[in-house]
Amino acid sequence: MLNDRKIKKKLVRYTIFFVIISTILVISALCVVYVSRKAENNSHVAYVNAILGEYKLHFSEKIQSDFNTLIAVSDMIEQDYISKEDIINDVLTYFPIHSEFNKIGYYSTDAEYKIITGEKSNIKYEFSNRPEEEKQTIRSAWQGEKAVSEIYIEDGKEMICYAVPTYEDNNIDGALTANICLDKFVNIINSQTLDGIKVNIAWVNRDGDIIKSSEEDVFEGKRAYIIESAWSNKADFYSTSPAVKKIDVVLDKNTYPLYRIEIGQNDWSLVYIDSAGEVTSPVYSAIVMLIVIFGFLMIFCLIVMSYTFRYIKRDKKTILSLADYDQLTQVYNIGEFINQVQELDCNSADYYIVILNFRHFQYINNIFGRTIADKILVETANILMSNLSEDELVCRYRSDEFCMLLQAKDKQTLEKRILNIINNISNISAKLQNEYNIKVYCGISIRQAGSQKALPISDMLNEAEFALKTIKQGYENEIAFYASSVKEKKIFQNEIENCMEQALENNEFKLFLQPKKNLSTNEIIGAEALVRWIRPDGKMIFPNDFIPLFESNGFCVSLDLYMVEKVCALQRKWLEQGKKIIPISINQSKLLFYRKDYIKKLCNITEKYGIDNKYIVLEILEGLVAENIETLNNTIIALREKGFQISMDDFGSGYSSLNTFTNIELDEIKLDKEFLRSIHTGKKQKQMMENIISIANGFGIRTVTEGVETQTQEAFLKSINCDYAQGYLYSKPISADEFESKYIN
Ligand code: C2E
Ligand code: CA
Ligand code: CA
CA 418 to ligand 1 centroid distance, Å: 33
CA 588 to ligand 3 centroid distance, Å: 11
Residues 659, 98: Cα–Cα separation, whole Å: 136
What per-residue confidence (pLDDT) applies to 131?
A: 86
Question: Which residues are CB-neighbours of 137 under 8 A, at least 6 positions away?
Answer: 147, 148, 149, 161, 162, 163, 175, 177
Residues 375 and 416 in one domain: yes
- Residue 298, Cβ density class (10 Å: 0-12 exposed, 13-18 middle, ≥19 buried): middle
* Residue to substitute in 508, 509, 530, 739 for testing ligand 1 pocket (most ligand atoms within 8 angstroms of CB): 530
- Which of these, 109, 107, 139, 141, lies nearest to 125 by C-alpha position? 107
- Which of these, 6, 5, 195, 179, lies nearest to 92 by C-alpha position? 179
Q: Is 121 left (phi over 0), alpha (psi -120 to 50) or beta?
A: beta
Domain boundary among 427, 453, 482: 482
CA 544 to ligand 1 centroid distance, Å: 8
DSSP 325: B
Residues 87, 70: Cα–Cα separation, whole Å: 13
Rounded to the nearest 5 degrees, what angle is found at the Cα of 635, between the Cα atoms of 629 and 641?
130
Rounded to the nearest 5 degrees, what angle is found at the Cα of 167, between the Cα atoms of 166 and 172?
85
Q: What is the SS3 assignment for 526?
A: strand
Domain that holds residue 476: 325-482
Q: Which atom of ligand 1 is nearest to the CA of 588?
A: 44
Residues 570 and 687 in one domain: yes
State the total domains in the chain.
3
Which residues make up the environment of ion ligand 2, defined by Cβ < 5 Å? Answer: 587, 619, 649
Amino acid at 169: D
With the C-alpha atoms ordered 385, 391, 396, 401, is the resulting torsion angle positive or negative? negative
Are 670 and 705 contacting, i.e. CB atoms less than 8 angstroms apart?
A: yes
Residues 574, 577: Cα–Cα separation, whole Å: 5
Concatenate the DSSP letters of all residues of 114-146 into one string: EEEETTS-EE---GGGS-HHHHHHHHHHHTT--
Residues 136, 161: Cα–Cα separation, whole Å: 10
Residues 448 and 547 in one domain: no
Residues 535 and 477 in one domain: no
- Which of these, 271, 280, 292, 179, lies nearest to 229 by C-alpha position? 271
Q: Is residue 27 part of a domain?
A: no
Domain boundary among 482, 515, 530: 482
Q: Is residue 392 part of a domain?
A: yes
Cα Rg, the chain, nearest whole Å:
60
Q: What is the pTM of this model?
A: 0.46
Query: What is the domain-level CATH number for residue 716?
Result: 3.20.20.450
Rounded to the nearest 5 degrees, what angle is found at the Cα of 657, between the Cα atoms of 652 and 661?
95
Q: Which atom of ligand 1 is nearest to the CA of 708?
A: 18
Q: Is residue 172 part of a domain?
A: no
Residues 235 and 373 in one domain: no
H-helix or E-strand containing 728?
none
CA 635 to ligand 1 centroid distance, Å: 24
CA 650 to ligand 2 centroid distance, Å: 7
* Residue to substitute in 531, 587, 647 for testing ligand 1 pocket (most ligand atoms within 8 angstroms of CB): 587
Query: What is the domain-level CATH number for residue 269?
Result: 3.40.1840
Question: Which residues are CB-neighbours of 671 under 8 A, at least 6 positions away?
Answer: 651, 652, 689, 692, 693, 703, 704, 705, 706, 722
Residue 320 has, within 13 A of its CA and on its CB side, a CA count of: 19
What per-residue confidence (pLDDT) applies to 282?
A: 65
Residues 467 and 427 in one domain: yes
Q: Is residue 612 part of a domain?
A: yes
- Which of these, 651, 724, 727, lies nearest to 692 by C-alpha position? 651
Residues 499, 491: Cα–Cα separation, whole Å: 13
DSSP 87: I
Concatenate the DSSP letters of all residues of 670-703 into one string: EE-HHHHHHGGG-HHHHHHHHHHHHHHHHTT-EE
Residues 381, 329: Cα–Cα separation, whole Å: 6
Residues 545 and 680 in one domain: yes
Residues 401 and 535 in one domain: no
CA 620 to ligand 1 centroid distance, Å: 12
Amino acid at 207: D
Q: Is residue 551 part of a domain?
A: yes
Chain centroid, CA 176 distance in Å: 93
Q: Is residue 348 part of a domain?
A: yes
Residues 261, 245: Cα–Cα separation, whole Å: 6
Residues 509 and 454 in one domain: no
Residues 348 and 465 in one domain: yes
Amino acid at 728: Y
Question: Which residues, in sequence order, are bridge partners of residue 710?
Answer: none
User: Residues with beta carbon inside 6 Å of ligand 1?
Assistant: 514, 530-531, 542-544, 547, 556, 560, 563, 587, 589, 649-650, 673, 706-709, 727-728, 733
Question: Which residues are CB-neighbours of 620 under 8 A, at least 6 positions away?
Answer: 588, 590, 593, 632, 636, 646, 647, 648, 649
Residues 631 and 570 in one domain: yes
Q: Is residue 471 part of a domain?
A: yes
Domain boundary among 463, 482, 501: 482
Residue 494 has, within 13 A of its CA and on its CB side, a CA count of: 7
With the C-alpha atoms ordered 151, 152, 157, 160, is the resulting torsion angle positive or negative? negative
- Residue 452, Cβ density class (10 Å: 0-12 exposed, 13-18 middle, ≥19 buried): exposed
Residues 345 and 409 in one domain: yes
Q: What are the mean pLDDT values of the chain's consecutive 10-residue runs (745 residues total)?
A: 58 79 82 79 80 87 88 79 66 66 79 57 72 89 90 88 87 86 84 80 83 72 75 63 72 79 85 71 73 84 81 66 83 90 76 93 88 93 93 91 92 93 88 81 86 70 90 86 78 90 96 98 97 95 93 94 98 95 95 92 97 97 73 91 95 76 89 88 87 94 96 96 97 97 92
- Which of these, 190, 129, 116, 182, lies nearest to 152 by C-alpha position? 182
Segment 376-381 long-range contacts (CB within 8 Å, at least 24 positions apart): 376/428, 376/432, 376/438, 377/328, 377/329, 378/328, 378/329, 378/330, 379/425, 379/428, 379/431, 379/432, 380/329, 380/356, 380/425, 380/428, 381/326, 381/329, 381/330, 381/331
What per-residue confidence (pLDDT) applies to 1?
A: 35
Rounded to the nearest 5 degrees, what angle is found at the Cα of 574, between the Cα atoms of 572 and 579?
140
Q: Is residue 306 part of a domain?
A: no
